[in-house]
Amino acid sequence: MITGHIGVAFGARAMRSTASLGWLLVATVAPDIVDFIAGFSGICNPGGLYSHAFPAVAIVALAVGAASGWQARNSTTAFLAMGLVFLHLPLDYITGLKYLWPGSPIVGLYIYRWPALDFVVEVPMVVAGWWILRRSGNAPKWAASVVTIVLLIAIQASLNITQQFVTRRTKPNGCSVASQLPEQNVVPHLYTAKHHVLSVV
* DSSP 8-state symbol, 44: -
**Smallest separation, CB 35 to Zn ion (Å):** 7
**Residue of the chain from 2, 24, 92, 198 that contacts Zn ion (CB under 5 A):** 92
User: Residue 92 or 118: which CB sits closer to Zn ion?
Assistant: 92
CA angle 172, 56, 74 (to 5 degrees): 100
Entry field: residues in the chain? 201
Which long-range contacts does 122-125 make (Cβ < 8 Å, 24+ apart)? Answer: 122/1, 122/2, 122/3, 122/4, 122/7, 122/95, 122/156, 123/3, 123/153, 123/156, 125/3, 125/4, 125/7, 125/8
Site for Zn ion in 13-72 (CB under 5 A): 31-32
User: Residue 74 or 163: which CB sits closer to Zn ion?
Assistant: 163
Total of chain residues touching Zn ion, rule CB under 5 A = 4
Residues 133 and 68: their CA atoms lie apart, in Å, by 20
**Smallest separation, CB 21 to Zn ion (Å):** 20
Residues 71 and 65: their CA atoms lie apart, in Å, by 10
Which range of residues in 88-96, 107-115, 133-141, 153-161 is near Zn ion by CB under 5 A? Answer: 88-96
**Smallest separation, CB 125 to Zn ion (Å):** 14
**Smallest separation, CB 18 to Zn ion (Å):** 27
Residues 18 and 15: their CA atoms lie apart, in Å, by 9
Which range of residues in 10-18, 91-99, 162-170, 174-182 is near Zn ion by CB under 5 A? Answer: 91-99
User: Residue 16 or 171: which CB sits closer to Zn ion?
Assistant: 171
Q: Write out the H or E segment, with its range, that includes residue 106.
A: strand 106-107
The yes or no reply on residue 118 touching Zn ion (CB under 5 A) is no
- 199 touches 175 (CB < 8 A): yes
Which range of residues in 16-24, 85-93, 112-120, 133-141 is near Zn ion by CB under 5 A? Answer: 85-93
User: Residue 90 or 103: which CB sits closer to Zn ion?
Assistant: 90
**Smallest separation, CB 142 to Zn ion (Å):** 24
User: Residue 32 or 139: which CB sits closer to Zn ion?
Assistant: 32
Query: Which residues contact Zn ion (rule: CB under 5 A)?
Result: 31-32, 92, 201
